[in-house]
Amino acid sequence: MQQEAPGSAVISLLVDNESGALARIVGLFSGRGYNIRSLTVAPVDEHGKQSRVNIVTTGSLADIRQIKAQVERLVPVSRVADLTADGPHVAREMAMIKVVSSGEPRTEALRIAQAFRARAVDTTASSFVFELTGSTDKLDSFIELMRPLGLVEVSRTGVAAICRGPQTIQSL
Amino acid sequence: MGSLKMRPSPSMGEQDKMTPQTASSAPDAQKPQTLPGAEVLMRALDEQGVEVIFGYPGGAVLPIYDALFKQNRIRHVLVRHEQAAVHAAEAYARSTGKVGVVLVTSGPGATNAVTGLLDALMDSIPLVCLSGQVPSSLIGNDAFQEADTTGITRPVTKYNYLVRRPEDLAPAVHEAFTIARSGRPGPVLIDLPKNITVGDAPYLAASQTPMRVAKGTAEPDREAVKRAVAAMKKARRPLFYTGGGVINAGPKACENLRKLVKLTGFPITSTLMGFGAYPGNDKQYLGMLGMHGMYEANLATHGCDVLIALGSRFDDRVTGRVDAFSPDSFKIHADIDASQINKIIPVDQPIVGDAGRIIEMMIEEWEKEPAYAHQADLAAWWEQIEAWRALDCLRFSQDQAPDAVIKPQQAIRRIYELARETGRDTYVSTEVGQHQMWAAQFFRFDDPNRWLTSGGLGTMGYGLPAAVGAQIAHPEALVLDIAGEASTLMNIQELGTIAQYRLPVKLFIINNHYMGMVRQWQELLHGSRYSESYSDALPDFVKLAESFHAKGLRATRMEELDDTIRAALNHDGPVVVDLCVTEGENCFPMIPSGAAHNEMILGPDQEERGAKVTREGMMLV
């Protein structure tokens, strides 16, 4: 295949919530040499019988098409959408960021957190845990800014995504 | 096979089709009968039309073997190694169009089956493999003969199950068969903890089992077929390139392929997996394409202006150098598996669907306007092809003196010719290597389902158990295994199965004392350093045969060849033939790795041409 510049894509799946379903998906990615940059999974229907998986992956357009086609073959996968290709979508992730510092760096961290609308969900005399929701880019820049200010630990959820407007993963 | 469709689920998003359906939740269904799990399993297999199981017992499957003992509808064939059970079931499936069934125990039983399962996955063979498992309560405790079978087999199956609840047992079996044979066929494994087969379980008939929507069963897009046929009408140098997908689509698809090829007058080449879909001795058939394919087939692939790929997947053995593959053609690709489209070669007109249905639609579209404007160009194309064919790329020089050493090509060609003279319905399996490629070059098949070989995975040791499976399925037919001495030793224990069931399999060992294909590559790519490729300390195959209650024959000189082959073919029982052939023979033609189709190396008897292997090429296998 002709190689275009590798790009990032958000692939969303609806899968039967059965044992091994996630291993099947993840195994397909590792077995075929595809990259998983982030992965989120949780049941989304009222009976907990279907889960939604959001995978951020990278590759050329042809790679992404191939990934989608391969995932579509899996028996427990009932729906696959390449949200990046299929139209406008919203993609968000959440992070908890722990900063341990005092004096000027501590006040600076709090100031930047306010600018980013991050919430301090845990506060001690020497530490903060900030909770921040937003695009991957926004989280990345916040974490970069915290690095010199006492950043010690980061926990990120990975991306949850949904298409804009009235259409759904089922109607795409 | 692709025409078999699962019942669609009522709506997307309600996919929980494997949950128990008790009488209360399905008001019209009768209260299901309760039986011991192993008997539920037998009933479900019977309902699925299973006649034969290839298997090997062990602790975790004792309840299943007990249930087998108590019934007489399903026959069990006891192999001598679980890998062989899977290959036998593959050949049974490939030669009958039915789903092959395997039964193995937990732990080593299941891990021994892994190679066969992957072989079936790569070659799209429908199988259901039942594996025993330790009781649910012991799973995860490193119990005796415990393996994470569903974990290990996940990447080598189309789908797999671990049955955790009795009420899931019968539905899992029914769905497994549907998944195995629908869309692109493949192997499905069901892991059965011992408490499930011992304890009681409700029996649910297939009709009471709601199933998930099958993948790859949608009707092909008529507009796509129309565009494809429009391109075919404009073609001046067309070529059909067909594969195993046509065989899997069934006998009617093969019949229609013949009709389409005759209707168009186009030439046709086939992959290794597609033999017999089109008659091998027909004038329009160019033989196999690819690495050891025919000169005329490969040059036609390189030079065509419209390439019509039907149920074939542009495997690297077929394409050679990808960026030089059929460089000037408009490519039509019909495949039941959408993930094969544009995977290796970008195509101009994809059609997703069953090859049989697509061929049918192509015939309809072609006949709507039968005029084909480029007959003159097509005639010139045929003239060119005939010129390539005249080179006679399979030519080899055999010393005809009575005491001359037999060349492997001569041995295989004579097996083909003499088997054909018997007029019997003949099934041919092979091992993997040079002998396989020579068999692919010299054997020509009139009908589908007669050629049993390991294509995608290239599994040495496939042929002998495959011959077992074919002979079990076709007791009256002539079943040959064209083998190499190295490959056949990988599953030679199946001579025991052959003896037990009195299977009149003819095992022809093309014995050149080398892992021939390894030796050939070492000669061409590694300075003739024959590292570990010599078959030292071989058994005496004649005595080996006799120890397994079979007839053993040997030919070492030309004068013995035909008589030995005839004696083997005429013997009413299993025969092992040790055909001692020249050691250093190479299989030609050959597209060296990293080269294009028009850079083939021809044999020493043709004029020297072709590419030298590059460093990049050496990295390819």
- Dihedral-angle region of residue B33 (phi above 0 means left; psi in -120 to 50 means alpha; beta otherwise): beta
pLDDT of residue B419 exceeding 90, the answer is: yes
Identify the domain boundary among A29, A48, A82.
A82
Residue A56 lies in a domain: yes
Interchain contact A18–B (C-beta under 8 A): yes
The answer to whether residues A39 and A70 belong to one domain is yes
Identify the domain boundary among A47, A82, A117.
A82
What would the mean pLDDT of B563-575 be, rounded to a whole number?
98
Residues A53 and A24: beta-carbon distance below 8 Å: no
Angle between helices B295-303 and B375-390 (to 10 degrees): 140
The answer to whether residues A96 and A65 belong to one domain is no
Query: Mind listing the pLDDT tens digit for each residue in A93-119?
Result: 999 999 999 999 999 999 999 999 999
Query: Mind listing the pLDDT tens digit for each residue in B501-534?
Result: 999 999 999 999 999 999 999 999 999 999 999 9
CATH code for the domain in which residue B466 is found: 3.40.50.970
Helical (H) or strand (E) element with B452: strand B451-452
The answer to whether residues A133 and A116 belong to one domain is yes
Interchain contact A70–B (C-beta under 8 A): yes
Residue A165 lies in a domain: no
DSSP annotation of A164 = S
The answer to whether residues A97 and A45 belong to one domain is no
CB contact under 8 A, B339 and A18: no
- pLDDT attached to residue B613: 65
Q: Smallest CA–CA separation between B187 and chain A, in Å?
A: 13
- pLDDT attached to residue B25: 45
CATH code for the domain in which residue A57 is found: 3.30.70.260
> Which residues are bridge partners to A42 per DSSP?
A52
- Catalytic residues of B, by residue number, are 82, 144-145, 194, 517
What would the mean pLDDT of B91-104 be, rounded to a whole number?
98
The answer to whether residues A95 and A116 belong to one domain is yes
State how many domains chain A has.
2
Query: Mind listing the pLDDT tens digit for each residue in B189-222?
Result: 999 999 999 999 999 999 999 888 788 889 999 9
**Distance of alpha carbon B407 from alpha carbon B583, whole angstroms:** 9
Look at residues A3, A78, A84 and name the one whose alpha carbon lies nearest to residue A44.
A78
The answer to whether residues B289 and B165 belong to one domain is no
The answer to whether residues A102 and A140 belong to one domain is yes
The answer to whether residues B164 and B231 belong to one domain is no
- pLDDT attached to residue B469: 98
The answer to whether residues B295 and B429 belong to one domain is no
The answer to whether residues A76 and A102 belong to one domain is no
Interchain contact A4–B (C-beta under 8 A): no
The answer to whether residues B358 and B421 belong to one domain is no
Angle between helices B408-421 and B434-442 (to 10 degrees): 40
Backbone angles phi, psi at B364, to 5 degrees: -60, -45
The answer to whether residues A47 and A100 belong to one domain is no
Q: Which of B12, B150, B184 sits opposite A78 (nearest CB)?
A: B12
The answer to whether residues B251 and B129 belong to one domain is no
Residue A67 lies in a domain: yes
CB contact under 8 A, A69 and B158: no
Identify the domain boundary among A82, A104, A129.
A82
| HEC letters along A70-86 | HHHCCCCEEEEEECCCC
The answer to whether residues A31 and A49 belong to one domain is yes
Residue A144 lies in a domain: yes
Work out the mean pLDDT of chain A and round it to a whole number.
94
pLDDT of residue B608 exceeding 60, the answer is: no
Q: Smallest CA–CA separation between B353 and chain A, in Å?
A: 13
Which tokens is B198 given? 């011992």
The answer to whether residues B188 and B41 belong to one domain is yes
The answer to whether residues A77 and A135 belong to one domain is no
B521: which residues sit within 8 A by CB, 6+ positions away?
none
Identify the domain boundary among B177, B208, B239.
B208
Would you place residue B3 in the very low, low, confident or very high pLDDT band (cuts 50, 70, 90)?
very low
The answer to whether residues B181 and B240 belong to one domain is no
The answer to whether residues B431 and B516 belong to one domain is yes
- pLDDT attached to residue B50: 98
The answer to whether residues B41 and B129 belong to one domain is yes
Residue B620 lies in a domain: no
Residues B74 and B49: beta-carbon distance below 8 Å: no
The answer to whether residues A105 and A76 belong to one domain is no
Three-state DSSP class for residue B261: helix
- pLDDT attached to residue B212: 86
Would you place residue B31 in the very low, low, confident or very high pLDDT band (cuts 50, 70, 90)?
confident
pLDDT of residue B258 exceeding 90, the answer is: yes
What would the mean pLDDT of B234-240 be, rounded to a whole number?
98
The answer to whether residues A11 and A71 belong to one domain is yes
Look at residues B287, B488, B506, B492 and name the one whose alpha carbon lies nearest to residue B418.
B506
Dihedral sign (CA B178, B179, B182, B187)? negative
Report how far Cα B514 is from the mean position of its chain's Cα atoms. 25
pLDDT of residue B392 exceeding 90, the answer is: yes
Residue B602 lies in a domain: no
Amino acid residing at A126: S
What would the mean pLDDT of B597-605 be, rounded to a whole number?
88
Would you place residue B612 in the very low, low, confident or very high pLDDT band (cuts 50, 70, 90)?
low
Residue B258 lies in a domain: yes
ipTM value > 0.85: yes
Domain that holds residue A106: 90-160
CATH code for the domain in which residue A108 is found: 3.30.70.1150
Residue B607 lies in a domain: no
Report the relative pairing of strands B268-270 and B238-242 from DSSP bridges. Answer: parallel
pLDDT of residue B15 exceeding 80, the answer is: no
State how many domains chain B has.
3
pLDDT of residue B83 exceeding 80, the answer is: yes
Domain that holds residue B463: 408-580
Closest chain A residue to the Cα of B175, Cα to Cα: A75
> Which residues are bridge partners to A95 per DSSP?
A132, A156
Residue B214 lies in a domain: no
The answer to whether residues B270 and B346 belong to one domain is yes
Residue B398 lies in a domain: no
- pLDDT attached to residue B23: 39
